[in-house]
Amino acid sequence: MKTNSPLRLYLIRHGETAWSLSGQYTGRADIPLTAHGEEAARAVGVRLRGIPFAHVLTSPLQRAQQTCRLAGLGAGLGAASVIEPDLAEWDNGDDEGRTPAEILAARPGWNLFRDGSPHGETPAQISARADHLIARLRALDGNVALFSHGHFGRVLAARWIGLAVGQAQHFLFDTAALSILAYEHNRADSPAIALWNSSAHEAFDLASNRRVDDTSPIIEQAIERWENEGGEIPQSAQPQVAHRAADAQPTKAQR
């Protein structure tokens, strides 16, 4: 459906699961939300209320589909949700169900975004999957809801603004958090991150990209924290990141 409105991607990570709570890597394991995860999914729906969505796409995994349904964006409510296989989580292969500490004990120095996991998707494969999805999303317009996962969502954001998969490790993405991928000045050659890792209960004006309690625009340089620690952003990317890209704190799991 064409709306003749600028493309705006509302990227939502699924709510809490038992494994996201324990810190276990959850790729293709199809586990449901906890009761707290269901509550947070409903809170996401409150935040998205009133936004007209031209498309609603969800990962085939049940934790993402549950979040979509509980947020009120399932079939029969506004745009009917559609299963999008490319929104599935990073396949962790042999590391499925393990914690980062367990993996590092077996493979010191390991980094998912650089090394991948044995018998799982490689960083090159996950990057190609994100690029494939982005190419199809760019053909759409209007507001698009994407219900996905922690690791794939981070890769999708990095690739949206032209960064390599390895730099996705700097984009923390909590359960039931909302991010917005858009264009600066609605120019397709200027992809930007308008909102990042905003919690389900945070007061935020999604239409203007402003905090409810803040009168100034929330626009910051992409992964500013990383830059301050000595990193460099490719000049060709020129990304911009809004709210919380710089000050998000680590959580137990980013799956």
* 139 neighbors 54 (Cβ within 8 angstroms): no
Looking at residue 127, the DSSP 8-state letter turns out to be H
Establish if 96 belongs to a structural domain: yes
Q: Does 254 map to a domain?
A: no
Residue 226 in domain: yes
Task: Report if residue 162 sits inside a domain.
Answer: yes
CA–CA distance, 72 with 66 (Å, rounded to integer):
10
Residue span of the structural domain in which 236 resides: 8-242
Residue 35 φ/ψ region, left for φ over 0, alpha for ψ in the -120 to 50 degree band, beta for the rest: alpha
CATH number for position 87: 3.40.50.1240
Q: Is it the case that residue 47 has pLDDT exceeding 90?
A: yes
Dig out the tokens for 36 from the structure: 């707290």
Q: Report the pLDDT averaged over residues 182-194.
A: 95
Confidence of residue 5 (pLDDT cuts 50, 70, 90): confident
Rounded Cα–Cα distance for residues 167 and 38 (Å): 30
- pLDDT tens for 24-44 read 999 999 999 999 999 999 999
The sign of the torsion formed by the CA atoms of 207, 183, 160, 170 equals negative
Average pLDDT over residues 211-232: 43
Answer for the pair 71, 45: CB distance below 8 angstroms, yes or no: yes
Residues that are catalytic: 14, 89
CA torsion, points 122, 135, 78, 62, in degrees to nearest 10? -10
Instruction: Specify the residue for token string 């000595």.
Output: 230
Query: What percent of the chain lies above the pLDDT cut of 70?
Result: 75
In a domain, 2, yes or no: no
Q: Has residue 255 been placed in a domain? A: no
Residue-wise pLDDT for 73-95, tens only, equals 965 445 689 999 999 999 999 99
Residue 3 within a domain: no
1 domain residue, yes or no: no
pLDDT at position 245 over 80 = no
pLDDT in tens, 108-153: 999 999 999 999 999 999 999 999 999 999 999 999 999 999 999 9
Tokens read off for 87: 């929104």
What pLDDT is recorded for position 199? 86
End-to-end CA distance of the chain: 31
Which of 189, 162, 181, 149 has its CA nearest to residue 245?
A: 181
| pLDDT class of 251 with cuts at 50, 70, 90 | very low
pLDDT in the model for residue 205:
59
- Please count the structural domains in the chain: 1
CA angle 60, 65, 67 (to 5 degrees): 145
pLDDT of the residue at 220? 45
pLDDT at 235: 42
Q: What pTM was computed for the model?
A: 0.80
